[in-house]
């Protein structure tokens, strides 16, 4: 590990740390350490990082702002790459915007609405980064990323990078081809529409307020835990099963919205996993409905 860290530092790829706790890099505030933690200073730094990873054969993965992510208590083996300031560029050209994968989605939706561009109003309250939103086909209020994406600049597991058109992303409900191919979006081009700035801002703010009022933000959480098993809604199934407020260790099913699990007291990943399993089993027993998580679970279980 020390040799790989030295190689990364010598190439000036960006910030490089050893045994960095991932509780500091997930919205759940849960997770063990990364063997090596890298914040590349841009695409060039990312390319150099990937060259070293491929030359050494070490395991790796990318994270964004850490929402929709559960990191195991044993941490993550190999290199964790976090897209942050080096991937927060934004270019606005008419009705198209080109934005880095590390750009905060809520910040983007707010800024773009104030410029009189419509299409991102649904994202006003969605935590996470642009790259993560493309990866998950994030959505709310009847819209999602697939409706506005033109192209995505994608990093594949073998270290290659490619621009992929939206029609080739295999989008469906909270799903894209990136999940199947262990790839990540490092840049995106969105096609929006010009409109009435006041109406766009009002619509975006309404969505943001709704999420703030109807979802729990007093404690660390990751966003929605389960995909909606349509035509059902996961939160209603869990609530009807009487599980609001149910707690295992430091993790609790939110009393505000039952499709959220909150970290109320230094929760471990195992607490969350046990709670997910209990909710799935209870809903299956009571209603015969199978629920799937939309949370990505990674790392070494202990």
Which pLDDT score, from 0 to 100, does residue 105 have?
A: 93
Which pLDDT score, from 0 to 100, does residue 39 have?
A: 96
The larger pLDDT score, comparing residue 223 to residue 229, is at 229
Q: List pLDDT tens digits, range 12-53.
A: 999 999 999 999 999 999 999 999 999 999 999 999 999 999
Is it the case that residue 58 has pLDDT exceeding 90? yes
**Range(s) within the chain of domains with CATH label 3.90.78.10:** 234-298
- For 295, the 3-state DSSP assignment is coil
**Range(s) within the chain of domains with CATH label 3.30.43.10:** 2-85
The rounded distance, in Å, linking the Cα atoms of 246 and 240 is: 13
Average pLDDT over residues 111-137: 92
Is it the case that residue 101 has pLDDT exceeding 90? yes
The rounded distance, in Å, linking the Cα atoms of 51 and 36 is: 15
Using pLDDT thresholds of 50, 70 and 90, give the confidence band for residue 146.
Answer: very high
Which pLDDT score, from 0 to 100, does residue 208 have?
A: 79
Which of 175, 201, 188 has the alpha carbon at shortest distance from 129? 188
Q: List pLDDT tens digits, range 64-100.
A: 888 889 999 999 999 999 998 899 999 999 999 999 9
- CB-based contact 73:298 (threshold 8 Å): no
Rounded to two decimals, what is the model's pTM? 0.87
For the domain made up of 2-85, give the CATH fold. 3.30.43
Q: What is the DSSP letter of 51?
A: H
Which pLDDT score, from 0 to 100, does residue 233 have?
A: 95
**Cβ-Cβ contacts under 8 Å for 61 (sequence gap 6 or more):** 76, 78, 79, 80, 81, 182, 298
Which pLDDT score, from 0 to 100, does residue 302 have?
A: 61
Average pLDDT over residues 210-225: 83
Q: What is the DSSP letter of 250?
A: T
For the domain made up of 88-214, give the CATH fold. 3.30.465
Is it the case that residue 122 has pLDDT exceeding 70? yes
Average pLDDT over residues 246-251: 98
- CB-based contact 272:114 (threshold 8 Å): no
The rounded distance, in Å, linking the Cα atoms of 225 and 126 is: 13
Q: List pLDDT tens digits, range 161-207.
A: 999 999 999 999 889 999 999 888 999 999 999 999 999 999 888 88
As a CATH number, domain 234-298 is: 3.90.78.10
Report phi then psi at 263, rounded to 5. Answer: -90, 100
Q: List pLDDT tens digits, range 259-291.
A: 999 999 999 999 999 999 999 999 999 999 999
Catalytic residue numbers? Answer: 174, 224, 294
């Amino acid at each position: 590990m020390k040799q790989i860290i030295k190689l990364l530092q010598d190439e000036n790829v960006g910030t490089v740390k050893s045994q960095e706790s991932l509780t500091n890099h997930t919205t759940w505030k849960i997770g063990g350490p990364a063997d090596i933690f890298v914040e590349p200073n841009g695409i060039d730094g990312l390319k150099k990082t990937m060259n070293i990873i491929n030359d050494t054969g070490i395991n790796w993965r990318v994270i964004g702002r850490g929402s929709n992510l559960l990191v195991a208590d044993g941490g993550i083996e190999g290199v964790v790459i976090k897209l942050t300031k080096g991937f927060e560029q934004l270019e606005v050209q008419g009705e198209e915007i080109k934005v880095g994968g590390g750009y905060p989605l809520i910040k983007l939706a707010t800024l773009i609405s104030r410029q009189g561009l419509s299409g991102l109003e649904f994202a006003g309250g969605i935590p996470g980064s642009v790259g993560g939103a493309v990866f998950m086909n994030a959505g709310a209020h009847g819209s999602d990323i697939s409706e506005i994406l033109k192209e995505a600049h994608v990093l594949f597991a073998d270290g290659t990078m490619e621009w992929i058109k939206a029609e080739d992303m295999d989008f469906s409900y909270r799903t894209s081809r990136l999940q199947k191919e262990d790839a990540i979006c490092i840049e995106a081009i969105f096609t929006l529409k010009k409109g009435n700035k006041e109406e766009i801002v009002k619509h975006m703010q309404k969505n943001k307020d709704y999420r703030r009022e109807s979802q729990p933000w007093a404690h660390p959480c990751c966003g929605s835990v389960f995909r909606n098993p349509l035509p059902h809604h996961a939160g209603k199934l869990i609530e009807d099963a009487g599980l609001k407020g149910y707690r295992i260790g430091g993790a609790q099913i939110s009393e505000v919205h039952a499709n959220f699990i909150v970290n109320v007291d230094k929760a471990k990943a195992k607490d969350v996993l046990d709670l997910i399993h209990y909710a799935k089993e209870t809903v299956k027993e009571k209603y015969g409905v199978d629920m799937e998580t939309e949370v990505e679970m990674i790392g070494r279980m202990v």
